């Protein structure tokens, strides 16, 4: 359905995330993947969705000079927000273990932002989902890290993996937002374009 809307447009996904790629494919969209390295540092004064929105825009900036009139660039960022702190991607096993322990038996927020960029406009959309974990044992945390290597995931977990199956007691909001792409909001924004 969306492909018919975008017959004369070329979609570019600027993400190496297999989950985002899969979601766009499942929407029936044809797209190209173009990735440019970006330093994902952000001002420490930013909080919550200000961080993910800033990073989604930042990821679009290297494409500014090369976008063509018929192209739509999709960039995205997801953060885990716990007790006033952003949890990014863990650098090693110790950091992943520390993050999962901090999430254990608590509710946190997963915030995803998408920037849809063309030569003449940029639309930013964000979504927020509350996720509650059960009390995780050290054995469960170590098993997950050793077997699933969650170093490419904000907060050191994927809801669609083993940790999501056994650890999450409740979510309030979009499941796909926690996966990393608030697909319903993306669908609506693409219609608006």
Supply the pLDDT for residue 6: 62
Q: Do β-strands 10-13 and 71-82 pair in parallel, antiparallel, or remain unpaired? A: parallel
Supply the pLDDT for residue 128: 98
Supply the pLDDT for residue 102: 98
Catalogue the E-assigned strands of 83-177: 85-87, 107-117, 122-133, 168-172
Parse the chain into domains and list their residue ranges: 2-192
Which portions of the chain are predicted below pLDDT 50?
none
Residues noted as catalytic: 77
Supply the pLDDT for residue 82: 98
Residues 6+ apart with CB under 8 A from 177: 78, 110, 112, 127, 128, 129
List pLDDT tens digits, range 139-170.
999 999 999 999 999 999 999 999 999 999 99
pTM exceeds 0.95: no
| CATH class of the region 2-192 | alpha beta
CA atoms within 13 A on the CB side of 133: 27
């Amino acid at each position: 359905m969306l492909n018919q809307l975008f017959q004369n447009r070329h979609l570019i996904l600027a993400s190496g995330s297999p989950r985002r790629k899969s979601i766009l494919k499942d929407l029936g969209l044809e797209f190209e993947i173009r990735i440019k390295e970006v330093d994902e540092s952000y001002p420490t004064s930013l909080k919550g969705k200000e961080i993910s929105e800033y990073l989604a825009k930042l990821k679009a900036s290297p494409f500014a000079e090369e976008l063509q009139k018929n192209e739509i660039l999709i960039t995205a960022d997801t953060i885990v927000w716990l007790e006033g702190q952003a949890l990014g991607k863990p650098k090693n096993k110790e950091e992943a273990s520390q993050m999962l322990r901090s999430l254990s038996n608590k509710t946190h927020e997963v915030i995803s932002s998408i920037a849809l960029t063309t030569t003449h406009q940029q639309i930013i959309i964000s979504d927020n989902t509350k996720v509650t974990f059960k009390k995780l044992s050290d054995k469960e945390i170590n098993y997950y890290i050793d077997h699933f290597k969650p170093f490419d995931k904000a907060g050191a977990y994927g809801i669609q993996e083993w940790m999501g199956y056994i650890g999450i007691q409740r979510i309030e909001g979009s499941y796909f937002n926690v996966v990393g792409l608030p697909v319903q909001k993306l669908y609506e924004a693409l219609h608006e374009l």
